[in-house]
Amino acid sequence: MSNQIFDNAMINYKQIIYLWSKIHIISVKKEHLRLKVKLSQDTVSKTAKEERADIAINAGFFDVNTLLPFMGYRDSNYKVQVIRNFPGVVFRDGEAKILKQVINDKENYFQCGPILVYNYSEMSDYSYFIDNKNLFDSYIDDSPAPRSVFAEDEDTYYFIAVDGRSDKSRGLHFKELTSWLLELKIKNAINLDGGSSSTLFIKNQVVNVPSGNKRLNIPFGKERKVSTIILGCIV
């Protein structure tokens, strides 16, 4: 089931029900959008409003104590060394590119993953997460969960958030999310930080339902602070 609830000449936003989960998807033609990654340490909505962004989504994984990225990252204010053989998103001149391996730490970038779809094909090898046990306390696909995804095809960027951990939307496993992305015929898609971090912002409002975090005393439906954000401005 699909429900288109926001549309104009530049931005298309839809809600889709898939496998007992609500998926929020924003699509914008690349020619109409300029992107950047920004170190935040605050909520997605507050940072997006301060930056006057039209679209924003939480980006990379972070240390919950410092709110700083613990994987490779670089912008004008902060840098963490690239993790060898690890995927991510590179930003150049307002454009973004999903890479299977980030190797140039001279450009703005952040590392995350796993890559779910690459060149229109399923990426089922998540070994770089399993093998890098120092990055995660447990495998991040043990159960269905809220998800955030950045994706692209030849001429369009996609910003995707899956609601989860509620009786109205259970969340998705990576395999389930990948199957849906393949149905959309999206070229490349990479998993961002999920769980309570998942936040999708458009035109001055958060459109998904953040899952909250009991350990951090963040109620269901309320945003948590995140470390990095992809920001998009319509041009």
| In a domain? residue 83 | yes
At 31 the pLDDT is 96
At 138 the pLDDT is 64
At 106 the pLDDT is 87
| In a domain? residue 136 | yes
| In a domain? residue 235 | no
Q: What is the pLDDT of residues 90-135, one digit of tens each?
A: 999 999 999 999 988 889 999 999 999 999 999 987 777 777 766 7
Q: Which domain holds residue 145?
A: 2-230
By percentage, how much of the chain surpasses pLDDT 90? 75
Which stretches in the chain have pLDDT values below 70?
Answer: 1-8, 133-134, 136-138
| In a domain? residue 115 | yes
| In a domain? residue 31 | yes
At 129 the pLDDT is 76
At 1 the pLDDT is 41
| In a domain? residue 177 | yes
Q: What is the pLDDT of residues 150-170, one digit of tens each?
A: 999 999 999 999 999 999 999
| In a domain? residue 101 | yes
Counting every residue written for the chain, the total comes to: 235
Side chain identity, residue 37: V
Residue found by looking up tokens 């041009």 in the block: 235
3-state secondary structure the chain: CEEEEEECCCEEEEEEEECCEEEEEEEEEHHHEEEEEEEEEECHHHHHHHCCCCEEEECCCECCCCCCECCCEECCCCEECCCCCCCEEEEECCEEEEECCCCCCCCEEEECCCEEEECCEECCCCHHHHHCCCCCCCCCCCCCECEEEEEECCCEEEEEEECCCCCCCCCECHHHHHHHHHHCCCCEEEECCCHHHCCEEECCEECCCCCCECCCCECCCCCCCEEEEEEEEEC
Q: Whose CA is closest to 227, among 67, 45, 35, 51?
A: 67
At 93 the pLDDT is 95
Q: What is the pTM of this model?
A: 0.94
Provide the number of structural domains found in the chain. 1
